[in-house]
Chain A
Amino acid sequence: MRDTVLEVLKEQFGDKVFEDSTHIIDDLDGDEFSLVELGVMLDEKLNISLDEEKILEVGTVGDLIALVESHVQSN
Chain B
Amino acid sequence: MILGAGGGLWYVQHLKAENEILKLNNEKLEGAVENQKAVIEQQLADIKQQKEINQNLSKVNEGLNKDLNNLDEKYNKINASGQRRDVGDLALNKPKSVELILNKYNKENNRCIEIAQGSALTEAEKNATKKSQANSVCPELANPNYVDY
Contact = CB atoms under 8 A, between A and B. Distances in A.
B80 A36 contact: no
Contacts of A40: 90, 93-94
Given A13-B79, A14-B80, A33 B96 contact: no
A52 B96 contact: yes
A29 B98 CA distance: 19
A75 B80 CA distance: 31
Contacts, number: 66
Interface stretch (B18-26, B36-44, B130-138): B130-138
Given A33-B90, A37-B90, A56-B101, A10 B80 contact: yes
Interface in A31-75: 31-37, 39-40, 43, 52-53, 55-56, 59
B131 A33 contact: no
A40 B77 CA distance: 16
A31 B134 CA distance: 11
Contact of A33 (B81, B101, B130): B101
Most chain B CB inside 10 Å of its own CB: which residue of A15, A25, A35, A59: A25
Contacts of B80: 10-15
A40 B85 CA distance: 12
A39 B80 CA distance: 16
Nearest to B132: A25
Most chain B CB inside 10 Å of its own CB: which residue of A25, A32, A39, A53: A32
20 contacts: A12-B79, A12-B80, A23-B132, A25-B130, A25-B132, A32-B101, A33-B87, A33-B90, A33-B98, A35-B97, A36-B93, A36-B98, A39-B94, A39-B97, A40-B93, A52-B95, A52-B96, A52-B97, A52-B100, A55-B97
Closest 7 CB pairs of A and B: A14-B80, A52-B96, A52-B97, A25-B132, A32-B101, A36-B97, A26-B130
